[in-house]
């Protein structure tokens, strides 16, 4: 398929549609020459609304993907698309049928069943508040209460990682590492297994810092982006990590998601792996 070929993707859900959207985006990312137009239709609860949305789909140009849990809606969507020769993919029913066949139990047919305001939901909100409260070493007491403590020089993704992990119900505190700066005493009382030292390559860090200064309209060539200073910061950080005896992860060219996955695997703190508070 050429770059100029139009492709419209309808994402339908009787909840917020995040699962369908992410799966569609993941699949489309495998086709770099396609620039799809993804249109999201959340909260499709009724037959009337469903048929109204589907009537906008153009055969041969539109792909319809959906996670419709409400009883009967997925069948209606599939029958409509088959009749109109619209390409479609049901992300919910095939797996539900497998579960029913294996357990003998019928699905509830409840839209948004994965988004109940249960205990895990409130734990996640608490973890998000914790990450904000103890960001950038604002209060050293947080290091003693955290599930994970992130250490790193400037621009090693400490804050984004803290918030991403908080969304996995993990309480994270982080501390910026600056050469010759005082390291809070609390750090030395934290189990080293809970501490992650973040590193980066001097070249990548230099580029990130220069781009940041340019974005602020400032001179990119400062001590902050000087290669010798960056190397000194990284040496200081590595020396500290060695003294602590913590795990070290190089975040260079790694996405936040990839780094977070490594952290969760190394610490065994994937609290959200069995969570039931996400959304379809």
Contact assessment for residue 79 and residue 86, using Cβ atoms and an 8 Å cutoff = no
Task: Assess whether 216 and 263 both reside in one domain.
Answer: yes
14 falls within a domain:
yes
Nearest partner of 271 among 256, 255, 259, 260, judged by Cα: 260
Domain range enclosing 110: 8-114
Q: What is the pTM of this model?
A: 0.69
Q: pLDDT, tens digit, for every residue of 125-152?
A: 999 999 999 999 999 999 999 999 999 9
Of 80, 114, 148, the residue at which a domain comes to its end is 114
Q: pLDDT, tens digit, for every residue of 1-16?
A: 445 567 999 999 998 8
277 falls within a domain:
no
pLDDT along the chain (280 residues), means of 10: 71 90 93 92 94 96 94 94 97 92 88 64 90 95 97 96 95 96 96 97 96 93 95 97 98 95 91 47
199 falls within a domain:
yes
3-state secondary structure 109-149: CCCCHHHCCCHHHHHHHHHHHHHHHCHHHCCCHHHHHCCEE
Sequence length of the chain is 280
Cα–chain center distance at 195: 21
């Amino acid at each position: 398929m050429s770059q100029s070929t139009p492709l419209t993707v309808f994402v339908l859900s009787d909840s917020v549609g995040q699962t369908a959207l992410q799966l569609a985006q993941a699949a489309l990312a495998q086709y770099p020459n396609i620039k799809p137009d993804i249109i999201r239709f959340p909260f499709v609860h009724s037959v009337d609304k469903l048929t109204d949305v589907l009537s906008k789909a153009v055969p041969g140009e539109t792909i319809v993907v959906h996670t419709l849990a409400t009883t009967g809606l997925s069948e209606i969507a599939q029958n409509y698309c088959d009749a109109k020769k619209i390409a479609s993919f049901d992300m919910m029913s095939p797996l539900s049928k497998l579960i029913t066949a294996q357990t003998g139990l019928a699905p509830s047919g409840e839209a948004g069943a994965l988004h109940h305001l249960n205990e895990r939901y409130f734990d996640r909100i608490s973890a998000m508040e914790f990450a904000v409260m103890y960001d950038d070493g604002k209060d050293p007491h947080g290091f003693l209460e955290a599930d994970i403590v992130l250490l790193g020089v400037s621009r090693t993704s400490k804050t984004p990682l803290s918030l991403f992990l908080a969304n996995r119900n993990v309480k994270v505190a982080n501390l910026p590492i600056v050469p010759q700066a005082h390291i809070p005493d609390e750090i030395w009382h934290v189990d080293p297994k809970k501490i992650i030292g973040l590193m980066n390559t001097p070249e990548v860090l230099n580029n990130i810092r220069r781009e940041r200064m340019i974005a602020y309209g400032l001179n990119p060539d400062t001590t902050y982006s000087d290669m010798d200073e960056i190397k000194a910061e990284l040496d200081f950080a590595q020396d500290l990590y060695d003294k602590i005896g913590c795990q070290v992860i190089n975040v260079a060219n790694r996405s936040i998601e990839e780094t977070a996955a490594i952290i969760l695997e190394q610490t065994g703190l994937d609290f959200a792996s069995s969570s039931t508070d996400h959304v379809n």
